[in-house]
Every structure is written in C-alpha cells, then in structure tokens.
Amino acid sequence: MKKYECETCGYIYDPEAGDPDSGIAPGTAFEDLPDDWVCPLCGVGKDDFKPVDE
C-alpha cells in the first residue's frame, strides 16, 4: 500500500501503521480513510495529501 505525505506539514501516513490515535487500524489504505479524517499533526484534510514515490 502506498504512503501519503501531507503537503502542509510533511506528515507521512503509513498504511502499515495506520493512525491509532484517530482510531485508524494498521493496514488501512489511505483511500479507505474516512472522508472526515484529518492530518494528526496539522489538521488539514485528505485533499492536502499526495502519494509518496518510493
């Protein structure tokens, strides 16, 4: 699964880790995050994330 980077603060969403503090289980793809999920560091929405080229 692809990682996504917040264009505002540089936070990397890693699907293997999920976002436990927001109730997102490990193994949750970025595309499967709820529409109201926000960056845990700066609070912007999913629209401000871009795929990370690995």
Question: What are the tens digits of pLDDT across the range 1-54?
Answer: 999 999 999 999 999 999 999 999 999 999 999 999 999 999 999 999 999 986
pTM > 0.85: yes or no:
yes
Range of the domain at 25: 1-33
Assign residue 40 a region (left: φ > 0; alpha: ψ between -120 and 50; beta: otherwise).
alpha
Q: Is residue 43 part of a domain?
A: no
Tell whether residue 49 is among the known ligand binding residues: no
The answer as to whether 4 is a domain residue is yes
Instruction: Give residue 50's pLDDT.
Output: 98
CA distance 44 to 16: 21
Is residue 20 domain-resident?
A: yes
Q: Is 39 annotated as a binding residue?
A: yes
CATH number, position 7: 2.20.28.10
Over the stretch 19-29, which tens digit does the pLDDT of each residue have? 999 999 999 99
Number of domains the chain is built from: 1
Is residue 42 marked as binding?
yes
Flag whether 24 is marked binding. Answer: no
- Domain presence at residue 51: no
Instruction: Give the chain's end-to-end CA distance (angstroms, integer).
Output: 11
Q: What are 14's two structure tokens?
A: 């890693």
User: Is 46 part of a structural domain of the chain?
Assistant: no
